[in-house]
Amino acid sequence: MKYLFFLILLANIVFYLWETGVGRQIGQDAQKVPEAGERIVLLKEIPAKSEPQIMPPAPQAEVSGAEPEQAAVSAAPAQDEAAPVEPAPPPPDPPADTQVAETPIASQADAADQTPNPPPPTPDSVCYHLGPYVSPKKAIAASIALGGASRAEVVKQPTEVEAGYTVLYPPAESLQVARENLKAMQGKGFKDAWVLEKGDYRYAVSLAMFSDKERAEAAVAHFRGMGIPAELKPRMVPGNTWWLRIPGSSAERPALEEAAGKPQIGAGTAKLGICE
């Protein structure tokens, strides 16, 4: 059975080869011999393929006495040679009678001469203050009388102000002596007298107090007539004063000092000074 199977398989293979003609084609190719005029070309002998270069059409030119082919060859420039570039012609010279305007260049020295001179210096500015005044109304009235209401400024300044006047017996060397002076003054009718223990008039004896300066000065004269060495002292308390701040120059000082002495401006106590 096994041998029968191999015989059938071999018969099928032979039949297939006979039908396809594989054996006959191989035999014919092996028996083909090249002819005498034919030769085998090697791969290295085959030239490399290069892309064709497209040349622009040469301009047609008429050349007398030359063949058409030669004229075409001479009219077309060589591919490797570049056409020469002619330089631009120089600009024409101006005519002899033409005048060329030249712009002068100023030097630094000329520029310095042309610089305008600086303006003359202005007078030095000074701020004056005039006062003190006991109220803003007094300060405004003085500013109007001064004629400088448009530029003067009323400024309030905290300070000590006069609240009256005190008539004093001169200060003693010690508190004990001051008390002895107080007993002596009380014996002469000064029932409200008392000893000052602080301030610039320490150990002095206060004899009387006045709100008006004229009355205080009259009392001092009366006490001195009695043989009492009385003194007048302004009574100072914390308060405010008002000043006029006037901007001006140093040349205006004499006129302001003269105006400050007028009663309607200085009121007898105002003084002119420089702002701090």
Q: Length of the chain in residues, anyone?
A: 276
Tokens 């008002």 map to which residue? 242
Q: Are 253 and 128 in contact (CB under 8 A)?
A: yes
Torsion of CA 177, 182, 188, 190, to 10 degrees: 160
pLDDT at 169: 96
pLDDT at 122: 52
Mean per-residue pLDDT pooled into runs of 10, the chain (276 residues): 80 80 54 53 55 51 43 42 53 52 47 52 74 87 74 88 91 95 93 91 94 94 94 90 87 82 71 82
Question: Which tokens in the block code for residue 145?
Answer: 């009388």
pLDDT at 26: 52
Q: How far apart are CA 167 and CA 208, in angstroms?
A: 5
Q: Are 248 and 263 in contact (CB under 8 A)?
A: no
Spatial neighbors of 247 by CB under 8 A, at least 6 apart, are 125, 126, 127, 128, 151
Instruction: Compute CA distances 244 → 140, 251, 272, whole Å.
Output: 8, 18, 9
Chain CA centroid to CA 181, Å: 73
DSSP string, 4-39: HHHHHHHHHHHHHHHHHTHHHHHHHHHH----TT--
Chain CA centroid to CA 98, Å: 54
